[in-house]
Structure 1
Amino acid sequence: MTASIAQQIVLAARPTGGRAQLTDFRLEDVPMPVPQEGQVLLRVDYLSLDPYMRGRMNDARSYAKPVQIGEPMTGESVATVIESKDAALPAGAHVLVTAGWVSHAVADAKNLAALPADGIPARAYLGVLGMPGFTAYSGMAAIGKPKSGETVVVGAASGPVGSLVGQLAKLVGARVVGIAGGAKKCAYVVQQLGFDAAIDHRAPDFADQLANACPSGIDVYFENIGGAVWKAVLPLLNQYGRVPVCGLMAQTSGKNDGVDDGLATTMRAILTRSLTVRGYINYEFLAEYRQAFLKDVGGYLRDGKIKHQEDVTDGLANAPQAFLDMIDGRNFGKVLVRVGDEE
């Protein structure tokens, strides 16, 4: 890539058979974009990879428009202004921008704001202080509402959303049980994040282990997985249990875990136990919780009360493989692609 050439990764084909493949993506060289008056040229430093992107690859009705064939994959990034034609946003400023899977982009300066120089690395605004962190915070504040002494169970507990959900629940005095894939992730959830217990969802006796870890039942279950995990959680939910539904990785991955949807059993439990099961997209709660989130979680980070893990891959060309690894659960922490220079 030269000074006059940028790169992008586009959707080359829609996945067939449920699972995405490397051949569904294509790396392209394109002319370096040129900023006009009131615009800035951005060098992408870190690209965020998130599970929602898998849904955008399908040509199906959803909460957001799908990526079209030949278009760059969607995604949020931390970028550096390398050329500015607006005095309000000078060269050198770090910004958040939804530019997609690209190395460089042009954006209107009026739609961007420099990230604060608060001692927190800019890339944290893609993870614990970004969309995943806000998803955790708002889902628990608006739907989960954990209380001291309650039992909170968290799906995908070592990931960027689940890890913060559990830590927030611990801060209010709840008992927290994480669900993760593999011994390493389970150990991290307990030893580093301070959860009370962690269960490997791959264990053949997973349902029994979960029941033993929740002797008083489950008051809040943060749903990130679905499938067999949901079937194990459902019988343990207490009267007036709350279930924020953030994701369904068992379906998103394109894998079939052999478990039927259990719709009749689920609906009966919702009725007889007065359960609250609420799906949500984080932006629904921006107006109500955004400022409190930045204040609270930013403060917890600076005080060392919150920990977070990052899984960084180098090079835009490697983004598709990193994305597929994430969908299959092979990541450990917030998935980022280092595209440009270090901050």
Structure 2
Amino acid sequence: MTAQRNLITDVAGLRVGNAHDPALASGVTAVLFEEPAVASYAVNGGAPGTRDTDLLEPDKVVPGINGLVLSGGSAFGLDAAGGVQAFLRERGIGFAVGPALVPLVPQAITFDLLNGGNKDWGRYPPYRELGYEAARNAGSDFALGTAGGGYGATTVDLKGGLGSVSAVTSAGHTVGALVVVNALASTLIGEGPHFWAGAYEEGREFGGLGLPPRITPEMRKLAWKGRAREAAPPMSTTIALVATDAVLTKAQAKRLAVIAHDGLAKGLRFAHALYDGDTVFSAATGKKPLMDEASDFIEIGALAGDCLARAVARGIYEATALSFPGALPAWRDRFGGLVQD
């Protein structure tokens, strides 16, 4: 069952904002928490780019984080967290160290440097300012597809993008996912139009086409960025946040991030490769206690994986193509005539 907006902001206690630069063909998505959120992460890709993630391990002292960033820009994009920190610090938000306040804002990035945008930004990259703007834009509603951290994202065969969905467990806990789909491989079964995540779709959130009657060996044929020798180097990595309003320990949040990676395996063929930096964050805003600890947590984890698979497909479904010569088409460019919004 999906919640009202079918966005991660259905999880009480967090807001999301986007900022992007069309000429740059890149952007930033910022998540702000009303109160410090218990959080962790798991990296299953071979080429991650992250900032301040060690503090998310269960044995580290920090009890919660103030924000989180999903950004393009490769290693240059890691400046975005500084912009979000600046926004939070201006508002007196952060981890107290004596009289000092340090906003805690972990981050992951994708590689989108070869997508046709103008990356000649001069001495300093623009991601700190984009991070500040994304934080300033944070609210309950936000754009999907070619927006924020998903603005410059691509997959092997289609324009990538920013996706988000939500669900509610049988015990009433809300679960949501937010993802930048910049995958090495594909979200499509064969040549499309069906998504690998089609079995998990709620309503018509990514077209309502379901699955094909049969998936043939030809449809399972592998393709990935840079496979051909004449192709550009791989531009990849899918990064995500799964969140819940449940009360979780940091160890449970770690397990939730590990479990949620299943959603990338469900939504992509394939994930977690050598040139993927696939990273999933998890966060618990602590609004609703677990009643049956084991059962409730198992269901939260299962739905987190389903939500992430759905969000992957929705990010592709909502995307629009970049305007540069040779840019990949969007899903709607190829298959939009098959659905009615």
Return the index of the structure with the highest Cα Rg: 1
Shorter-chain TM range is: under 0.3
More helix by share: 1
Higher relative contact order (CA 8 A, sep 6+): 2
TM-score of the superposed pair, with normalisation by structure 2: 0.27
TM-score, with length taken from structure 1: 0.27
